[in-house]
């Protein structure tokens, strides 16, 4: 039968976003050698920009050390960017290993063998596409709010803290606008690229789940033919054991064992690549939660004092 969907098809929308933000190697690979070369430069530039962004926030935190409010403002962004940078470097250093994962997804061993397999793969693709669209819309809304907030604060004569170091004063409107746009631009860029990369990692694990579901379904219907109809060898009308059918079931069983083994390898390989990055993300997220709780506590105290 002709396969209408392949496991790698579930990542098409994610790969487009990651290629655009230079957070991942282009999949499928760029055929034009010039475009391929420039995209590699683009990926290198992405890492350099993030490192500069990290340095700006680290410098800011060091300079305001002792001023808790300003440190919290700086750390709330710095912890996120450090996590993003580490994950991005991890991805770039393991490009060959990711290509091996993609080769497995394109291999016939993970392909759909019947309509039920296609149904499982299609459902997984739709779920990943839905998550991706939701996240991208959320990032867009947050980006607009992030960009407008410092300008609205400045217009209302409130103190505006730009949590990054700039080698020039940001008091006047021109320098303030340039600094705010720079901070927001990188955050938006990071938002689209990093969140899509997170969805991609989830998608890899969801592919393992799909393959295991296929193995389970196939074992439950091992005696079915291509149309889902049980063979006579497993019916009451036939108590014999036909050699040709025995070979057929053996071939099916061997294929399922190979599919299962490959799914287990895929999962372990993914864990081996990303386990440290995920640990860093978990630690960074914990720190971010702490900074947010601290800021919320400060806002609550100010509200209580004003209403006393």
pLDDT score, position 233? 41
The 10 Å CB-count burial string (b at 16+, else e) for 129-142 is bebbeebbeebeee
Average pLDDT for 278-298: 74
Tokens of 256: 């399922």
**Cα diameter, the chain:** 91
pLDDT at 145 over 80: yes
Q: How many CB atoms lie within 10 A of CB 204?
A: 23
- Closest by Cα among 286, 288, 90, 290 to 198: 90
Q: Which of 99-103, 182-186, 205-209, 226-230 is least confident?
A: 226-230
pTM, entire model: 0.81
pLDDT at 27 over 70: yes
Give CA–CA dist 231/106, Å, rounded: 31
- Closest by Cα among 102, 64, 67, 60 to 81: 60
Give CA–CA dist 298/292, Å, rounded: 10
pLDDT score, position 238? 44
pLDDT tens, 221-270?
A: 877 655 444 444 444 344 444 555 677 778 888 888 999 999 999 999 99
Terminal-to-terminal C-alpha distance of the chain: 75
Contacts of residue 41, defined as CB under 8 A and 6 or more positions apart, other chains included, come to none
| pLDDT: which is higher, 31 or 49 | 49
Q: Where are the domains of the chain?
A: 7-225+242-306
When pLDDT is cut at 50, 70 and 90, the band that residue 72 belongs to is confident
When pLDDT is cut at 50, 70 and 90, the band that residue 302 belongs to is low
Average pLDDT for 163-190: 87
Give CA–CA dist 114/288, Å, rounded: 46
Q: Which of 8-17, 22-31, 49-58, 166-175 is least confident?
A: 22-31
Q: What is the mean pLDDT of the chain?
A: 82
């Amino acid at each position: 039968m002709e396969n209408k969907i392949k496991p790698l098809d579930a990542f098409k929308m994610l790969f487009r976003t990651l290629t655009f933000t230079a957070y991942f190697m282009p999949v499928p690979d760029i055929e034009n050698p010039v475009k391929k070369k420039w995209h590699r430069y683009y990926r290198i530039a992405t890492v350099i920009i993030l490192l500069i962004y990290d340095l700006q926030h680290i410098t800011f935190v060091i300079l305001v050390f002792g001023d808790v409010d300003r440190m919290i403002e700086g750390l709330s962004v710095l912890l996120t960017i450090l996590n993003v940078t580490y994950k991005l470097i991890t991805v770039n250093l393991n490009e060959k290993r990711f290509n091996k994962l993609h080769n497995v997804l394109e291999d016939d061993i993970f392909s759909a063998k019947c309509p039920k397999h296609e149904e499982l793969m299609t459902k997984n693709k739709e779920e990943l596409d839905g998550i991706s669209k939701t996240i991208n819309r959320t990032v867009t809304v947050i980006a607009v709010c992030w960009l407008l907030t410092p300008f609205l604060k400045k217009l209302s004569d409130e103190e505006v803290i730009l949590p990054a170091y700039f080698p020039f004063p940001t008091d006047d409107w021109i320098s303030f606008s340039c600094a705010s746009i720079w901070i927001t631009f990188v955050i938006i860029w990071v938002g689209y690229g990093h969140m899509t990369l997170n969805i991609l990692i989830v998608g890899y694990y969801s592919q393992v789940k799909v393959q295991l579901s296929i193995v389970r379904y196939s074992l439950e219907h091992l005696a079915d033919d291509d149309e889902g109809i049980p063979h006579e060898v497993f019916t009451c009308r036939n108590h014999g054991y036909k050699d040709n059918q025995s070979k057929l079931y053996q071939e099916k069983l061997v294929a399922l064992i190979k599919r299962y083994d490959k799914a287990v390898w895929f999962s372990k390989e993914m864990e081996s690549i990303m386990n440290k990055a995920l640990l860093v993300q978990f630690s960074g997220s914990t720190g971010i939660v702490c900074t947010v709780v601290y800021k919320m506590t400060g806002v609550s105290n100010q509200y209580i004092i004003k209403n006393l």
